[in-house]
A = this chain, B = another copy of it.
Amino acid sequence: MLDRTSPVSIKIVAERAGVSTATVSNVLNGKTSVSPVFAERVRRAVDDLGYVTDSSASRLRSGRHSLAGVVVPNLTNPMFSAFVSTLECVARQDGFDLLVVSCDNEAEQEAERLRSIRSWRPAGLIVIPCDGALSARLPKGGHPRIVVADRIPDDAGFDLVAVENALAAGAMASHLAAQGYRTCLVAGSTLEISNVRERWDGVAAVAPESVHMVECGLDPAGIHRRLRDRLRQGPRPDALFTLDHVTTLIAYQLLAELEISIPDDMGFASFDDTEWMRLVTPPVTAVRQPVEDMAHAAWAQLMRRMAGGDGAPEHLRLSCAIEIRGSTLRPKREPKNAAA
């Protein structure tokens, strides 16, 4: 799009203040000292004209960036929007603006979006990748600084901030077992997503016999159908443990639809804790991921890299809390050590 109302440039400001553009720049950036008289004249002109330095031009000349990018699978998932929200907040505090991009959970889109975000020459990128093959979507020789968050890429060469998926999922499995749930169905989008895989592994490690996994995919209609079929056919499990937000949401509605009552007919637990889980009756037991901490840690790591840190890739794993609520507390049995 062509710019019609061309904004004021440093030249206009300089003219108005009766100084050179260099002086305006010096006043604004405070590098070289400028006489109080000139400085004041410049500041007035800047105010009068509502001038703001053109960041692109500034970067072009100085090499100093003040833009960062974030790539997420989508923004409707509250987990991702909380992540972006926190990131935007901390980035701002460090003087960075944030280019936000989502890719609809599609690798191809992601590749395309990464290209387009790279065109802005950001100081760095924070990426929650669609799948493990992130590095295939970046130029071979030298890509921009990247910190990967949440989902684990195949390539261990990236800085990474994620959560202890297996540990938390295992703990949830233990909790279910302790509550007397014997057969547990575990439902998640797809094992191709690393943290779904890690969560499943965590469950399987704790309870190798009585659990089964169903991969429901990413599309809501498909999730509903597959899960419904699975619950109708064969013996009904004691408990359902869903491994991601979308699956959880659909599963919860499906149980109501099938008139399976929680927690009597079936225990219900979720990986990923959202607002509504505290509001429904009974409230839903969930693994609470430290999303804000993840965003903070990812940004901090990026800043470290930007400051010149060039050691080996750092892999950080944050631990999750388990929020035990009514959906996994069988009223008919005496709970052994139930919280809340």
Query: Which chain A residues have a beta carbon within 8 Å of chain B's beta carbons?
Result: 1-7, 49-50, 52-57, 59-60, 63-67, 74-76, 78, 81-82, 84-85, 88-89, 92, 97-102, 113, 115-121, 123-124, 138-145, 249, 252-253, 275-276, 278-281, 306-308
Residues in B with CB closer than 8 Å to A123 are: 1, 3
Assess A60 versus B63: contact at CB under 8 Å? Given A81-B81, A116-B97.
no
* Interchain CB contact under 8 A, B97 and A98: no
**Assembly CA distance A33 to B66 (angstroms):** 36
Smallest CB-CB separation from A58: which chain B residue? B119
User: Inside 8 A of A66's CB, which chain B residues have their CB?
Assistant: 1
Docked CA distance A276–B245 (Å): 13
Contacting residues, chain B, for A76 (C-beta < 8 A): 81-82, 85
| A64 in complex: contacting residue of B2, B88, B121, CB < 8 Å | B2
* A4/B308 contact (C-beta < 8 A), A120-B97, A279-B280 known: yes
Please, how many angstroms separate the alpha-carbon atoms of A64 and B7 in the complex? 14
Q: A306: which B residues are within 8 A, CB to CB?
A: 1
From B56, B89, B253, contact of A60 by CB (8 A): B56
A147 to chain B, nearest CB (A): 14
Contact of A276 among B56, B67, B276 (CB under 8 A): B276
Nearest chain B CB to A96's CB is how many angstroms away?
8
How far apart sit A3 and B117, CA to CA, in the bound complex (Å)?
16
In the complex, the chain B residue whose C-beta lies closest to that of A276 is B276
